[in-house]
Amino acid sequence: MNKTFEFKGSGKSIITIDGNFIRIKRKGFVNFMNHGLDGEKTIDINNLTGIQVKKAGFTSGYIQFIFMGSQESKKGVFAATQDENTVMFVKKEQKMADEIKEYIEGFLANKGKSQVAATISGADEILKYKELLDQGIITEEEFQEKKKQLLGI
């Protein structure tokens, strides 16, 4: 996906999804007060462990990108405004936040599937080499070397 989402309601923030990367750019006075002159932040989607979306209603909503070791905002909207991995939005921008969430969740789900497939194919390769060893086509040393290579040891 290559798409740009512009959130204008609660301080101007622009989220661009460009393949495996999310770029967050903040503009305007509200963002300056909350984040200073941060510039553009680039996040590799592969490093995300999750995404949290708080629906907008009476107060602004937010979309928060969660990493291994990071803390989810459990203190509400006001704490989220200070988090550099969080973008605020208003009710009419909810669909954009939901679209970003769906894309990232799909990306993370597919990432997990490809890792499982790679593990299975590695195990299959080891079994094939074991058969070659049993048939006397390769030596024990060659088998152990290939097994270490496939297991990344």
* pLDDT tens string 62-95: 999 988 766 555 555 555 666 788 898 999 999 9
CA-wise closest residue to 22 among 89, 83, 76, 87: 87
Helix locations, the chain, DSSP H: 29-35, 77-80, 94-134, 140-151
| Distance, CA of 44 to CA of 91 (rounded, Å) | 27
Nearby residues of 85 by Cβ (< 8 Å), 6 or more positions away = 41, 43, 64, 65, 66, 67, 70
In this structure, what are the phi and psi dihedrals at residue 15, rounded to the nearest 5 degrees? -110, 125
Q: Is the pLDDT of residue 127 over 80?
A: yes
The three-state secondary structure class of 81 is: coil
The model's pLDDT over 91-124, given as tens digits with 9 standing for 90+, comes to 999 999 999 999 999 988 887 666 655 556 777 8
Q: Could you read off the pLDDT of 44-58 as tens digits, one per residue?
A: 998 898 899 999 988
Please report, for residues 15, 17, 34, 84, 103, the alpha-carbon distance to residue 2 in angstroms, rounded to integers and kept in the order given: 11, 5, 28, 22, 11
pTM for this one?
0.62
Using CA atoms of 57, 95, 105, 21 in order, give the dihedral in degrees to the nearest 10. -110
Q: Give 109 or 32, the one with higher predicted confidence.
A: 109
Residue 31, pLDDT above cutoff 90: no
